Amino acid sequence: MARLELLLLDNDDEHVVIANALVAALGAGAVALRRGEIAAIPDDAVPIVFAAELPAYLAALPADRRAKLIERTLVLNAYRDEVLGLLETHGFGGAIECEDPAGWADYGTMFVRKAALSPRKGEAVSGAGRESARYVLWTIRDRTAVERTCSLAKLVDSYGAEAWRFSNRDDRLLVTSGDARAHGLPAISVSVNIGRVAMAPTRFPTPTGYLQLYQAFGSGLWFSVEHDPDGGTIVDAAGRKLVGEHVPPILGELEHVMLAGGSRTAVACVTGPANSVASGMKCYLRVPHRTGDLLVTFATAARSREPSCAYVLAVPELKVLADSLTIVDDQA
């Protein structure tokens, strides 16, 4: 399990008091203080660094572990009007505000990386200055309690584990040919890297589906691989999936996309009303095999009304999925 380490690099008196208060709130088993020796930060540590000490911290990070450490580093007490820009620029794990030592015991919020959160764990706090492309203000509420019960210290501890997992994200979601056959599907192996996207994974979500991934927080991110034996063109397949849309979808031109080891014919569409949070963009691709094609779907929230698979697959999480997708036809 990940362990929080609050770094003290300049022995500032206020920093020491805040750090000691966090240790008192969570206990020495959950958090430790580190004075310097940045290169010796252990692999199970989630560093917490005061924003004022970031230049020294970044300069001392070991090159061979720099990327992973930055991705799980939590920044403490950055200026409110700069925090989202700071996170986006450096790719830190998140940010905490606690200028009062007693604040660790109060109900809290913190900025977190959207892709690092376990789906449906906690909730986003909406509003101006509380969200950027990759980060969002976040909290955990106990809906059964009258009082808000999740202290800032416990919130940080909970998210620390998510940030650590995100920085060690090499897990793959695998459906074997045997699994597929047991579910009445063609014996095809499907594998994709899910560790770097933290989208909710489901194997065999529908009678025709091999796998599906979804991410919350209004991103609209969606990925699925399913059996599509009905034939026709990719436009025909997209049309079948779009039946029932209340707003007529905007269909794009045919495109060619490299996926699963080959060039695939693809088509994009925009769904939902313009200027609405319900507006999305989907990219459909076909991967042929002997018993009927596989239909692969990528989707994201749409900030453009021009359908484009290139637009969809430029989303970092979806690009990881597209680049890592492996499909092997194991039919005898």
Q: Give the pLDDT band (50/70/90) at residue 232.
A: confident
| Token pair belonging to 96 | 């905490």
pTM of the model as a whole: 0.56
Res 273 pLDDT > 80: no
User: Looking at residue 277, what is its pLDDT?
Assistant: 63
Distances (CA, A) of 134 to 7, 81, 214, 226: 25, 16, 16, 28
What was the pLDDT predicted at 142? 65
Mean pLDDT across the chain: 87
Instruction: Name the nearest CA neighbour of 259 among 291, 288, 231, 235.
Output: 288
Instruction: Determine the pLDDT at residue 167.
Output: 85
Query: Helices 13-26 & 152-167, crossing angle to 10 degrees?
Result: 90
CA angle 326, 327, 329 (to 5 degrees): 150
Mean pLDDT calculated for residue range 195-208: 83
Instruction: Name the DSSP class of 30.
Output: T
pLDDT tens, residue by residue, 147-194: 556 899 999 999 998 898 888 766 688 999 999 999 999 999 999 988
pLDDT tens string 276-315: 666 789 999 999 887 778 999 999 987 788 899 999 999 8
CA 110 to chain centre: 16
